Amino acid sequence: MKARLKFTKMGPMKFIGHLDLQRLFQRCIRRSHLPIEYSKGFNPHQYLYFALPLPLGATSEGEYLDMTLTDELEPEEIKNSLNAYLPEGINIQEVYILSDEMAVGMAAVDAAEYKIFIDKKTVPLHFMDAVNNFFNQSEILAEKQGKKGIKEVNIKEMIHEYTLDENDEQWIITLLLATGSKTNLKPETVIQQIYRDNNLEYKDCRVHIHRINIYSRKNDLFLPLSDIS
């Protein structure tokens, strides 16, 4: 059977890179004795599909991992047995059973939602006006890292939604960005461009990125991966 796990990556876990996270999961799965399917032949290994790697330094409450099990298990059982071995900060929130014909992992991803936290003290007073102006352009040009180096592209179509918010200390930009195997807009690209346009020095260590969820597009609707099973 196929299962989709939704999990968090919070606190200091943001310092763990994607490959290290994979190894961590593999070992926790082994310890939990989940009946996971292994590849055949020499060097048997587990097939795990992570939906979308998270950049180092970002936190998330909506990460996904697909796996194939050799026995039928209750979602609750999968969740509890894994959580018993995962470190603080990484927590399985929910487990969904996928139908057998479901494509696993990356193939289903079309968009991701982020919250960007910017310390008010690090930007000028009128920063938010600038941000508004940025998003309201008819064409949004950004420097994007392509296969053949940096090039300028219009990212307007790739920004599905944006909202601005604030609390006492931070500006909060919420973004729904196109992402996946075909088009992929990273939140850093957007934020860096805003800083560049305003002649501000961008230091990624000062801007906190938090992923809310990952979506798949169905009939013009963005559904969280958890709703697709």
Partner 1 sequence: MTTLRVKDELLLQVEKPARYIGNEVNSVKKDLSKIDIRFAFCFPDVYEVGMSHLGMQILYYYLNERKDTYCERVFAPWLDMEQKMREHNIPLFALESQEDIKNFDFLGFTLQYEMCYTNVINLIDLAGIPIWSKDRGEEDPIICAGGPCAYNPEPLAHFIDFFYIGEGEASLGKVLDIYKVHKQEGGSRRAFLEKLLDVEGIYVPCFYDVYYNEDGTINRFVPNHPKAKTKIKKQIVKDLDSTYYPTHAIMPWIQTVHDRVVLEVFRGCIRGCRFCHAGFVYRPVREKSKDVLMKQASLLLENTGYEEISLASLSTSDYSQLEKFSEELLEVCRESKVNISLPSLRIDEFSLDLMGKVQEIRKSSLTFAPEAGTQRLRNVINKGITEEDIISGSRRAFEGGWDRVKLYFMIGLPTETEQDIEGISDLANKIVDTFYAIPKENRAKTVKVVVSSSCFVPKPFTPFQWEPQNTYQEFMDKQYFLKSKIKRKQIQYNYHDAIVSALEGMIARGDRKVGDVLYAAWKAGCKFDGWSELFEFSKWKKAFKETGIDPAFYASRRRAYDEILPWDHISVGVTKDFLKREHERAMKEEVTPNCRQFCENCGAKRFRGGICYES
Distance CA 144, CA 150 (A): 6
Instruction: Give the one residue of 18, 35, 38, 181 binding partner 1; rule: CB under 8 A.
Output: 38
Compare residues 45 and 182 and give the one whose CB is closer to partner 1: 45
The answer to whether residue 151 forms part of the interface with partner 1 (CB under 8 A) is no
Task: Find the shortest distance in angstroms from Cβ 30 to partner 1.
Answer: 4
Residues 86-115 interacting with partner 1 (rule: CB under 8 A): 87-89
Which helix (H) or strand (E) element contains residue 75? helix 75-83
φ, ψ dihedrals at 31, nearest 5°: -65, -35
The answer to whether residue 42 forms part of the interface with partner 1 (CB under 8 A) is yes
Q: What 3-state DSSP class applies to 12?
A: helix
The answer to whether residue 61 forms part of the interface with partner 1 (CB under 8 A) is no
Q: Which residues pair with 63 in a beta bridge?
A: 7
What DSSP letter does each residue of 91-138 carry, written as one string?
EEEEEEEEPTTPPPGGGG--EEEEEEEEEGGGS-TTHHHHHHHHHHSS
Residues 190-229 interacting with partner 1 (rule: CB under 8 A): 204-206, 208
φ, ψ dihedrals at 169, nearest 5°: -105, -25
With contacts defined by CB under 8 A, name the span among 35-43, 106-114, 192-200, 217-225 that binds partner 1. Answer: 35-43
The answer to whether residue 17 forms part of the interface with partner 1 (CB under 8 A) is yes
Binding positions for partner 1, rule: CB under 8 A: 11-12, 14-17, 19-20, 23-24, 26-31, 38, 42-45, 56-57, 85, 87-89, 204-206, 208
